[in-house]
Homo-oligomer: A and B are copies of this chain.
Amino acid sequence: MNTAQAKARADLLKALAHPTRVLMLDELSRGDRSVNDLRRLAAASQPTISRHLDRLKKAGIVTERRVGPRVIHHLACPCMLQALSCTLEALKSVKKRQADIV
């Protein structure tokens, strides 16, 4: 892997690497959602949610379409869900190892 490739991958991972965005992607995996829908998930202000979504859009993970006054968001890269499920497995593995040491 070269440097440019590594940077592109790291940028994609960064786009995921925030608790609020993790929650958002998990929710979007169950269907398209408006900004307000997603806002209810996280304890954050509306502008904050809007910016997190913008980040996901810029990374190309999420797309949007306008329906009346709302902007509906769609998970354009379902493959990124694998990265999420993979963190769950990793967490289990880390916990298990720590338990073995103790």
A residues neighboring B (CB under 8 Å) = 1, 3, 6-10, 12-14, 16-23, 26, 42-43, 59-61, 76-77, 79-80, 82-84, 86-91, 93-94, 97-98
A97 touches B83 (CB 8 A): no
CB closest chain-B residue, reference A85: B82
User: A9–B84 contact, CB under 8 A?
Assistant: yes
Give every chain B residue within 8 A of A7 (Cβ-Cβ). 19
When A77-B93, A93-B76 are in contact, do A21 and B10 touch as well, CB less than 8 Å? yes
Q: A9-B91, A12-B90 are in contact. List 9 more A-B contacts (CB 8 A).
A: A1-B22, A1-B26, A3-B43, A6-B20, A6-B23, A13-B22, A17-B17, A60-B90, A61-B94
A100: shortest Cβ distance to chain B, in Å? 11
Known A-B contacts A13-B22, A82-B86; the reply to A8 vs B76 at CB < 8 A is: no
Expressed in whole angstroms, the Cα–Cα distance for A13 and B42 within the complex equals 19
A-B contact pairs, 20 of them (CB 8 A): A6-B20, A7-B19, A9-B22, A9-B87, A9-B88, A10-B16, A12-B87, A13-B16, A13-B22, A13-B83, A14-B14, A16-B17, A60-B93, A60-B97, A60-B98, A61-B90, A79-B89, A82-B83, A82-B86, A86-B86
